Amino acid sequence: MRVGVLTGGGDCPGLNAVIRAVVRKGTQEYEYDFVGFRDGWRGPLEGDTVPLDIPAVRGILPRGGTILGSSRTNPFKQEDGVRRIRENLAKNEVDALVAIGGEDTLGVAARLSGEHGIPCVGVPKTIDNDLSATDYTFGFDTAVGVATEAIDRLHTTAESHMRVLVVEVMGRHAGWIALHSGLAGGANVILIPEQRFDIEQVCDWVESRFKVRYAPIVVVAEGAMPKDGPMVLKDDTTDSFGHVRLSGVGEWLAKEIERRTGKEARTTVLGHTQRGGTPSAFDRWLATRFGLHAIDAVRDGDFGKMVALRGTDIVRVPIAEATAKLKTVDPKLYSEAGVFFG
């Protein structure tokens, strides 16, 4: 049995831990061979491979990024995409694929498995934690840690200058990073994509924070939107899955807060620092267990499935179930944080 492995979409701390676990268990316990495909779906589409064996995965557990590279290539947007993938899998004698990715990468795996009979097992990753069917995705804990540390640091500089500090975090459709880091870091305002915000209310919270002689920290997810307007974007370029590049709402908020309250405001955009670098212990643990269970699914011939965390158990669910609907922040959960606003 020869198994192909690929990592697609935005990178995420813990990808290498999955690759290592898949290769270690597959080689040691099932005597499988492996081949790595470079840059997500671009690899099988163009037949771009990299050798993958136990020596190749030594030392990668704590390393961020992915040794296989990543891209947002969508084979269904390429001419003859499925046929080309099929041919390249045959050429490399690949019997099954382990696809590690988020909504888009797994969406492709679900279609290849379900509609085209190409045997795929999925492993969920995204720092945004917005995939259904799993309690957590790896990468999220690391991102929350990075954002929380940034908020801690911004508190002291905000207070020294008595100014507002707006922290823009990632979160395209879901405010998980904003909510968790905002709560952990003691933010005074948390704004998430799931709930449109009222800029007047934000300014009231800012003013009330200054009244108690503390400087406000506003945490905003990049996908958060004002109540009476469109999403604030720097530009409107899209990737091959049609997603616009986000970021801009933090700068916009600081300007609006300054204009409306007369208080000085600055913005810090955390951007890709949330995705880079070494994974947290939790993410290494989760990614490793996902990898071990993914190769078990291959051994069982359980294709079209994705591994998922339920409590402390790793289970298998249809990939389509995980990609059908995003896991967003429940309004009740968000309202819990409200006691700390202002």
Q: How many residues bind ligand F6P (CB under 6 A)?
A: 12
DSSP characters over 247-294: --HHHHHHHHHHHHH---EEEEE-GGGGTSSPPPHHHHHHHHHHHHHH
- Is 128 catalytic? The answer is yes
In the complex, what is the shortest distance from the CB of residue 275 to ligand F6P, in angstroms, rounded to a whole number?
6
Which x/- pattern over 241-260 shows residues binding ligand F6P (rule: CB under 6 A)? Answer: ----xx--------------
Q: Is 219 in the site for ligand F6P (CB under 6 A)?
A: no
313-318 and 305-310 beta bridge pairing: antiparallel
Among 26, 64, 81, 171, binds ligand F6P (CB under 6 A): 171
Q: Does 172 engage in binding with ligand F6P (CB under 6 A)? A: yes
Q: Amino acid identity, residue 127?
A: I
Which region, judged by CB under 6 A, interacts with ligand F6P, from 126-134, 178-186, 207-215, 320-328?
126-134
CA distances to 74, 163, 165 from 120, rounded to whole Å, are 16, 51, 45
Residue 134 binds ligand F6P, judged by CB under 6 A: no
Q: Could you tell me the sign of the dihedral formed by the alpha carbons of 79, 72, 61, 180, in that order?
A: negative
Of these, 52, 96, 127, 190, which contacts ligand F6P (CB under 6 A)? 127
10 part of the interface to ligand F6P, by CB under 6 A:
yes
The least distance separating ligand F6P from the CB of residue 272, rounded to whole angstroms, comes to 6
Neighbours of 242 (CB within 10 A): 9
Of 128, 130, 141, 283, the catalytic one is 128
37-50 burial, b at 16+ Cβ within 10 Å, e below that, comes to bbbbbbbbbbeebe
Q: Please answer whether residues 108 and 100 qualify as being in contact, where contact means their C-beta atoms are separated by less than 8 angstroms.
A: no
CB within 8 Å of 271: residues ≥ 6 apart: 168, 170, 247
Please choose, out of 34-42, 125-133, 279-287, 332-340, the segment that lies near ligand F6P by the rule CB under 6 A.
125-133
Kindly tell me which residue out of 88, 126, 134, 181 binds ligand F6P, with binding defined by CB under 6 A.
126
- Minimum CB distance to ligand F6P, residue 160 (Å): 30
Please say whether the beta carbons of 110 and 320 come within 8 A.
Answer: yes
Question: Rounded to the nearest whole angstrom, what is the least distance from the CB of residue 81 to ligand F6P in the complex?
Answer: 21
Residues labelled catalytic: 128
